[in-house]
Chains A and B, each alone.
Chain A
Amino acid sequence: MKINKIQNGFLMNNQEYKIIGKEEIISETQVHVETDKGVILLDTSVIINDNSFIDIIEFYNFLIN
């Protein structure tokens, strides 16, 4: 799956998600992201702006920064 960052959120499946709360890392590869459309599970298989990740913390930091 590919997503793209936008200000304060990301685009996934042609839908805009605004990050409204803190993340919750639930495993070494998975994170729960609180958005305006609910809590979304993202993992390191997701490509963000054509960038791949192995570490979930790096993944999330890239997503929110």
Chain B
Amino acid sequence: MALNNTQLNRLDGITKEYVDFSISGLTASAGGTSGTSGTSGIDGANGPSGTSGSSGSSGSSGSSGTSGSSGSSGTSGSSGSSGTSGSSGSSGSSGTRGTSGSSGTSGSSGTSGSSGTSGSSGSSGSNGAMKLLGFSGVVGTPSNSTNNVLSHSLLISANTLSSNNILQLVWRMKRIGASNAGQIFSRIYHNTSSSLTGATLLVSTIFTMNGGSTQFLGYCERNFAYDGTSLITYINAAFSEYTTGTIQTTAFTKTQDNYIIFAIQCGNAADTANIDLYKIFLYG
């Protein structure tokens, strides 16, 4: 029997590969013993895939990323400390003129500066002070009879008076001639013309100077409150204001021209009398 490339197991245990050999001398016998084992089978099929290998080691670090976007603005900081005070301002302007008549009030303080200088004295104004409307220091038209005569008059122009005014009349009757013995009378009126005809009596009384040949001057005065429509005084024959009397209210239209009239009269037709001074003041 020829064999090729067969491994034979020797009885002595030595394994030896024979390439080409043959066995001879062998004869069959009855009922022989079991034959030798057959030759080895062909190689088996490839086995299944092995299990996965363990993970590899980590790779090297990647390159750096690009820069991120800018962050939002931070909150405002706290206020700074106060600055130093500024320098003083220049002096203020001079004060305004004072009220009429009296000395002016001190000027108002200038802006941011020192106080202004005192204002100069104000001129006499038509309002807010006493105003002399007129006067005379000489005799007027005399009375040399028993007639009541207009001695002096003064025009008070329309709209001179206003409500809450005071009209003050002062006058002095005068006896002319040392030998005049009779009484001397005086009255005051107002009229829209410089005339006694149609005139309105301002004080319903007669200012009477007695004392013929001994009394020569009589100083009279009256104050009138004016409320815008009427002149208000009192009735009393006393020359001065320092007494009492009933109230006299006389309509006085401020929007028209008015004359204040001082009248004089002799009780004795042979005497002569006059008014040698008068003053008219307006307060308001």
The residues of A with any CB-CB pair to B shorter than 8 Å are 1, 12-13, 26-30, 32, 37-43, 45-46
Contact = CB atoms under 8 A, between A and B. Distances in A.
Interface in B189-206: 189, 192, 196-201, 204
Contact of B197 (A28, A39, A42): A42
A15 B146 CA distance: 30
Contacts, number: 46
Nearest to B149: A27
Nearest to B206: A26
A37 B251 CA distance: 7
Interface in B160-212: 189, 192, 196-201, 204
B198 A12 contact: yes
Task: Please indicate which of the listed interface residues A13, A29, A30 has the most CB atoms of chain B within 10 Å of its own CB.
Answer: A30
Contacts of A38: 200-201, 250-251
A35 B204 CA distance: 12
B200 A37 contact: yes
Contacts of B197: 1, 41-43, 45-46
B151 interface: no
B223 interface: no
30 contacts: A1-B197, A1-B198, A12-B198, A13-B192, A13-B198, A26-B265, A27-B148, A27-B265, A30-B147, A30-B148, A30-B196, A32-B201, A37-B200, A38-B200, A38-B201, A38-B250, A38-B251, A39-B200, A39-B204, A40-B201, A41-B148, A41-B197, A41-B198, A41-B199, A41-B200, A41-B201, A42-B197, A42-B198, A43-B196, A45-B197
Given A1-B197, A39-B200, A46-B198, A27 B192 contact: no
B200 A28 contact: no
Given A27-B265, A29-B147, A39 B201 contact: yes
